[in-house]
Amino acid sequence: MGKKRKHGDTTQGVAQPKKEDVALERSAKTLLGWKDKSQVSDEVEDNVDSSVFRNKEKVLVTCSRRINYRYRHLMLNVVSLLPHCKKENKVESKDTKGATLNELVELKNCSSCLFFECRKQKDLYLWMAKSPNGPSVKFLVGAVHTMEELKLPGNQLKGSRPILTFSANFEKDAHWKLLKEMLLQIFDTPKDHRKTKPFHDHVFVFSIVDDHIWFRNYQISVPHNESDKLPRGRLDKMTLIEVGPRFCLNPIKIFGGSFGGPTLYENPFYVSSNQIRSLEKRKKAGKFTKKVKAKIRRKMHEMSNPLETDEFAD
């Protein structure tokens, strides 16, 4: 008599796997199922497309000591326009400012720097540098108008991303192309930055007139009777309203390093503010000397041509 089969036993007639095969299968499952976090992160990084670029630009904005109140307000306006920037205390503008600023940029984990340097409480110079390898540009800032003094009707949302527009002159020469690329990297707000809004509502305009870079900031305005989202191609419904600030950048020199290094370009049309002031003083001094010479000529004329004595003068 054979053994009775228990109820629910279905193993009869089916080939049972060997114990060695089961052990190998279980070990393979455990190896595939349990992985270190480092292995998982490495696989995820390998799966990500290497061609995708993520903008991690951070800009350090600082100024020199003894800066004028007007230029300080301009710096604060620029800070409000750049949500991806970091502010730093004032730096002493001496010969060692380059090493100090490079160290500050590294400590703040930034890749670019905007340094507002004020000289004689009259002249404002703007250093725009990529750290630590350069290049860097030195500008003379003129025609400064801050948001507070302009009181323009435009109003933009703080933290929104700008649209950068450049005039066609930037493609004319090599140094303008380099300046365009630096402006694009510094003033363009990263897309996924934590302090930015995911839309555009203002425009930065950079135009070249008389070998100067003129900056304007405009708000993109939509009429109230229109819907919030216009269909594509209906740009005629949008208008631009200036927000501010305004300023003009006169490039002086372009250096190969960060805050120094070999000179890549020097503006041949640049005239320093000290020379302009000295010429104005000479003009004023020339007016005074003309007056003195006129008085001397008058006296010499009176001495050479004396008046006849009048008997009724007493």
pLDDT at 243: 93
pLDDT at 23: 46
pLDDT at 26: 45
Q: Position 34: which residue type? A: W
Q: How far apart, in whole angstroms, are the C-alpha atoms of residue 27 and residue 17?
A: 15
Q: How far apart, in whole angstroms, are the C-alpha atoms of residue 173 and residue 264?
A: 13
DSSP 126: E
pLDDT block averages, 10 residues each, the chain of length 314: 50 53 45 47 51 82 92 95 92 79 93 94 94 93 93 88 94 95 94 85 94 95 66 73 94 94 94 90 80 89 86 79
Phi/psi for 208 (5° steps) reads -105, 120
Query: pTM for the full model?
Result: 0.73
Buried b (16+ CB within 10 A) or exposed e, 80-111: ebbbbbbebeebebeeebbeebbebbeebebb
Structure tokens at 237: 């419904």
Q: How far apart, in whole angstroms, are the C-alpha atoms of residue 210 and residue 270?
A: 11
pLDDT at 54: 79
Which of 267, 268, 248, 246 lies closest to 137 in space, CA to CA?
A: 267
- The residue extents of the domains of the chain are 59-273
Residue 14, Cα to own-chain centre: how many angstroms?
75
Within 10 angstroms of residue 77's Cβ, the number of other Cβ atoms is 20
pLDDT at 84: 93
pLDDT at 22: 46
Phi/psi for 25 (5° steps) reads -65, -45
pLDDT at 310: 81
Q: How far apart, in whole angstroms, are the C-alpha atoms of residue 85 and residue 186?
A: 9
Q: Is the dihedral angle over the CA atoms 95, 97, 102, 104 positive or is it negative?
A: positive
Instruction: Determine the CATH number of domain 59-273.
Output: 3.40.50.10480
